[in-house]
Amino acid sequence: MPLLTQAMIVRTRFAPSPTGTLHMGGARTALYNYCLAKALGGQYILRIEDTDAARSTQEAKQALIQDLKWLGLNWDEAPYHQSERYAIYQDLAQQLVSKGKAFYCFASDQDIAKARESAKYPAAFQFQSPDRDLTLAQAQARLQAGEPAVIRFRNEFKDQSFEVHDLVRGKVVLSGDMVGDFVILRADGSPVYNFCCAVDDGLMRITHVLRGEEHLPNTLRQLMIYQALSLPIPQFGHLSLILGSDHKKLSKRTGARSVGDFRQEGFLAPAVINYLALLGWSDPKSRDLLSLDDLISVFTVDRLNPAGPMYDEARLRWMNQQYIRQLQPTALWQAIVPYLNQAAYQLPQDPAWQTKSVARLMQDWHQLTDCIPVYAYFDQYTPPALDTQATSLIQTKEVRQVMLAWQSQLDTIDTDPNQPLDPITYKSFIKHIQNHCGVKGKQLFMPIRIAMIGCPQGLDLMSTVELCSLDLLRKRAAHYLSLPGLTIAD
Ligand code: GLU
Q: DSSP for 222-284, please give it.
A: HHHHHHHHTPPPPEEEEEPPPB-TTSSB--TTTT--BHHHHHHTT--HHHHHHHHHTSSB--T
Q: Residue 277 has what pLDDT?
A: 98
| Tens-place pLDDT, residues 343-375 | 999 999 999 999 999 999 999 999 999 999 999
Contacts of 373 (CB under 8 A, 6+ apart): none
Query: Ligand 1: does its nearest atom lie under 6 Å from the Cβ of 16?
Result: yes
Q: Which spans in 438-489 are helix H?
A: 442-453, 461-467, 470-481
Position in ligand 1 atom list of the atom nearest CA 14: 8
Question: Residue 48 Cα, ligand 1 centroid: separation in angstroms?
Answer: 9
Query: Ligand 1: does its nearest atom lie under 6 Å from the Cβ of 23?
Result: no
Average pLDDT score over residue span 68-92: 97
Q: How far apart are CA 189 and CA 86, in angstroms?
A: 8
Closest residue by Cα to residue 162 from 175, 181, 153:
175
Average pLDDT taken over every residue of the chain? 95
Q: Residue 458 has what pLDDT?
A: 85
Q: Residue 454 has what pLDDT?
A: 95
Instruction: Label residue 4 by pLDDT band (50, 70, 90).
Output: low
Closest residue by Cα to residue 257 from 276, 238, 282:
276
Q: Look up residue 179 and give its amino acid.
A: V
Q: Residue 3 has what pLDDT?
A: 64
> Which of residues 395 and 104 earns the better pLDDT score?
104
> What whole-number percentage of the chain has pLDDT above 90?
93
Q: Residue 206 has what pLDDT?
A: 98
Q: Which spans in 254-396 are helix H?
A: 259-264, 269-277, 292-298, 313-326, 329-342, 351-361, 371-375, 388-393
- Give the count of beta carbons closer than 10 Å to the beta carbon of residue 156: 14
Instruction: Label residue 8 by pLDDT band (50, 70, 90).
Output: confident
Position in ligand 1 atom list of the atom nearest CA 29: 8
Query: Ligand 1: does its nearest atom lie under 6 Å from the Cβ of 215?
Result: yes
* Residue 247 pLDDT greater than 50, yes or no: yes
Q: Residue 10 has what pLDDT?
A: 98
Q: Which spans in 365-441 are helix H?
A: 371-375, 388-393, 397-410, 423-437
Q: How far apart are CA 18 and CA 211, in angstroms?
A: 16
Question: Residue 229 Cα, ligand 1 centroid: separation in angstroms?
Answer: 20
Q: Are 415 and 470 in contact (CB under 8 A)?
A: yes
Contacts of 361 (CB under 8 A, 6+ apart): 371, 374, 375, 459, 463, 467
Instruction: Label residue 483 by pLDDT band (50, 70, 90).
Output: confident
Instruction: Label residue 490 by pLDDT band (50, 70, 90).
Output: very low
The secondary structure of residue 13, as a DSSP letter, is E
| Tens-place pLDDT, residues 294-327 | 999 999 999 999 999 999 999 999 999 999 999 9
Position in ligand 1 atom list of the atom nearest CA 218: 9
**Degrees (nearest 5) of the Cα angle 465, 469, 470?**
85
Q: Residue 78 has what pLDDT?
A: 85
Cα–Cα distances in angstroms (integers) from residue 24 to residues 212, 236, 238, 253, in the given order: 11, 20, 16, 14
Average pLDDT score over residue span 105-112: 96
Does the predicted model carry a pTM greater than 0.85?
Answer: yes
| Tens-place pLDDT, residues 17-42 | 999 999 999 999 999 999 999 999 99
Q: How far apart are CA 296 and CA 273, in angstroms?
A: 12
Helix (H) or strand (E) holding 184: strand 183-185
Question: Residue 128 Cα, ligand 1 centroid: separation in angstroms?
Answer: 27
Question: Residue 198 Cα, ligand 1 centroid: separation in angstroms?
Answer: 11
| Tens-place pLDDT, residues 122-152 | 888 999 999 999 999 999 999 999 999 999 9
Q: Residues 38, 252, 285, 442: which is the catalytic one?
A: 252
Give first-to-last CA distance, the chain, whole Å.
88
* Residue 489 pLDDT greater than 50, yes or no: no
| Tens-place pLDDT, residues 204-218 | 999 999 999 999 999
Q: Are 474 and 452 in contact (CB under 8 A)?
A: no
Q: Look up residue 148 and give its amino acid.
A: P
Q: Residue 123 has what pLDDT?
A: 85
* Residue 427 pLDDT greater than 60, yes or no: yes
* Residue 13 pLDDT greater than 60, yes or no: yes
Closest residue by Cα to residue 315 from 279, 268, 352, 354:
279
Average pLDDT score over residue span 180-186: 97
**Catalytic-residue membership of 252:** yes
Q: Residue 160 has what pLDDT?
A: 96
